[in-house]
Chains A and B, each alone.
Chain A
Amino acid sequence: MAERQPVLVLISEDPRASHRANEAMRIALGIVAGETPVDIVLAGPAVHLLDEDTDNLVDGDDIAKFRAALKKLAVPFHVEEGAPPADRSWNADGHPVAPITRDGIAALVAKARRFLVF
């Protein structure tokens, strides 16, 4: 039986400025909960979804809750290379992350079945 193709959730909204980054992560969590494989990519400022201090993020309490649920489910984030801040407090919770290049994102797009782009 062929491997199930994943849903790709690509988030590039800035959670410091818009609630939509959190909403995209919540939707990704919902689809994972439906037992569909999901690839989550954080591009550009969306990497701030992994900031230690969520007080500066829109819907920060929800972000902490949803990303903790994704961590519990061992769902990694693909993080665009060069996007994470140098601040060592970034991803203080140790969420599994994998750096990814633009070409790598394109490769994920090529193997995905559905796309949610925020």
Chain B
Amino acid sequence: MTLLSLGATLGPVMELTKRKLGLMVSTAPEHPNLDTAVGLGRAALDRGAEVYLYLIDDGVAGVEDPRVQALADRGAKLFVCAYGCQKRRQPLSDKATNCGLVVLADIVNATDRFLALN
């Protein structure tokens, strides 16, 4: 049995293949923004897109959040603002790429869609 026999088409499924979605979250993990970002990231991955999630400002506290790590386990590229971690005396995590704003600028420029959740 194939999806096609169920009336599904590959068109919508393949639509996002190889496309890039950039997400930035600047709010603390308790804020609904993180759920929104994770949900969007999950949906994009389901459809074959590449996902780049950049955590900044209060968002850096979410780097080891299970929701974020689940996204990374599925292939999302996870970045965390090293300055934000340092300012909050939060240890750098080996579960994300610790980086600076030039990486954010690259994500802003290189993705097909970019969403900042502030």
Contacts and interface: CB of A to CB of B under 8 A. Distances in A.
Contacts of A20: 26, 57, 118
Question: Which secondary structure characterizes the binding site on chain B?
Answer: helix
Interface size class of A (residues with CB under 8 A): 10 to 19
Nearest to B109: A36
B109 A116 contact: no
B26 A30 contact: no
Interface of A: 7, 19-20, 23-24, 26-27, 29-31, 33-36, 114-118
A33 B101 contact: yes
Interface residues of B, number: 16
Question: Which 3 residue pairs of A and B lie closest in terms of their CB atoms, listed nearest first?
Answer: A30-B101, A34-B105, A31-B105
Contacts of A30: 100-102, 104-105
A34 B105 CA distance: 6
B116 interface: yes
B60 to A, nearest CB: 11
B101 A115 contact: no
Interface string B74-109: 000000000100000000000000001110111011
